[in-house]
């Protein structure tokens, strides 16, 4: 599945507000769907790049050799899921923002795992 199809698939989840595929070496978005005036996906991509880098550094400092599957950030009205993946040497993550009152978190995490396996870069 290509990037656009993968992101549109993520947006079919109940409560989806925006989705992006981000290269966390550069912080650049490779694709985005949704967002808007309440969710600037470019700012979210850049900020979440910092989150991923900081968590990777922390795990390295702790000597943890396991890879990060995903990072979940909960705020009052939203879930933000960062799902890491690696393709062709690129360090990427899928980012999905959800309305917390309408979303099923377990289903969203499951769907991102499926998308991760099927996406081709």
**What does the pLDDT look like over 34-64, one tens digit per residue?**
998 889 999 999 999 999 999 989 999 999 9
Contact (CB, 8 A) for 27 and 44: no
pLDDT at residue 108 tops 80: yes
- Residues near 34 by Cβ (< 8 Å), separated by ≥ 6? 11, 16, 17, 18, 19, 41, 97
Q: What are the domain boundaries of the chain? A: 3-118
What's this model's pTM, rounded to 2 decimal places? 0.91
**How far, in Å, CA of 19 to CA of 97, rounded?**
6
Domain 3-118 has CATH 2.60.40.60: no
């Amino acid at each position: 599945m290509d990037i656009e199809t993968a992101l549109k698939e993520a947006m079919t989840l109940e409560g989806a507000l925006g989705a992006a595929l981000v290269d966390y070496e550069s912080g650049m978005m490779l694709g985005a769907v949704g967002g808007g005036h309440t969710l600037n996906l470019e700012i979210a991509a850049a900020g979440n790049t910092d989150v991923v880098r900081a968590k990777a550094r922390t795990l390295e400092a702790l000597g943890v050799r396991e890879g990060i599957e995903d990072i979940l950030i909960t705020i009052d009205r939203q879930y933000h899921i960062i799902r890491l993946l690696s393709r062709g040497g690129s360090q990427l993550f899928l980012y999905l923002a959800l309305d917390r009152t309408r979303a099923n978190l377990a289903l969203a995490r499951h769907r991102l795992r499926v998308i991760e396996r099927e996406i081709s870069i």
